[in-house]
Amino acid sequence: MKKTTKQADKVSEPLVSSDSEQLTDEQLELREQALAKAAQKFAKTLARSAVATRKDLVNQVFSQLSDAAIFNWADHAKLCVALCDIRTRDGLLRILHDEVELRPQVCDHLAREMARAGKQWVAPLATVFGGIVWLAGFPDQTRTAINQALEADPSYSLAQLLDIALRHNVPASIWSASLEAVSFQACLKGAA
């Protein structure tokens, strides 16, 4: 992710601006239906095989993030559900850690989906965005994202951890080494 003048100028701007385009009632209804369906499917399959369900969802979301196409509501819902489950989120972060060339596209997707998300989904979306831009060398954008995450949900633990790391000037390489040390399978099982 190359730092450009345009990016540097936008560092202090919120990732989801308050004047962003409002969703129509129909869009809100479609979003909520997709979220309910995705959450129900995840919960149902999780009860049968937790690790396999998480692995499948990570693979689906990673595939969507790898594609430049704009997410539909079903894609949006899968992403939100995946990031709200800590083990699934951590598995996705583990994969994204190794996919350096995809980081700009993933960040574009995450920023777009934050703008379309309900408040209860902003913390995980903003935190993952913040973690990825931190790994890419953009601590100011990370700070903005983590502030947004904590504003949306002050108790979101990964945002709290990244906030502490930023306040104490911990190098992103420390988090990178931590991600690298834990296997994808261990993330899905909750060992991270």
Identify whether 5 is part of a domain: no
pLDDT of residue 21: 57
Identify whether 10 is part of a domain: no
Of 34, 119, 158, whose CA–CA distance to 42 is shortest? 34
Decide: 110 and 93 in contact? Cβ < 8 Å: no
Identify whether 3 is part of a domain: no
Identify whether 19 is part of a domain: no
What's the distance, Cα to Cα, between the start and end of the chain in Å? 26
- Domain region containing 46: 24-189
Identify whether 83 is part of a domain: yes
CATH no. for residue 60?
1.25.40
Phi, psi for residue 16 in degrees, rounded to 5: -115, 105
Decide: 130 and 141 in contact? Cβ < 8 Å: yes
Summarised one tens digit per residue, pLDDT across range 75-128 is 999 999 999 999 999 999 999 999 999 999 999 999 999 999 999 999 999 999
Identify whether 15 is part of a domain: no
Identify whether 184 is part of a domain: yes
Decide: 145 and 15 in contact? Cβ < 8 Å: yes
Summarised one tens digit per residue, pLDDT across range 137-163 is 999 999 999 999 999 999 999 999 999
Average the pLDDT over 23-33 and give the result.
94
Identify whether 35 is part of a domain: yes
Number of domains in the chain: 1
Decide: 1 and 103 in contact? Cβ < 8 Å: yes
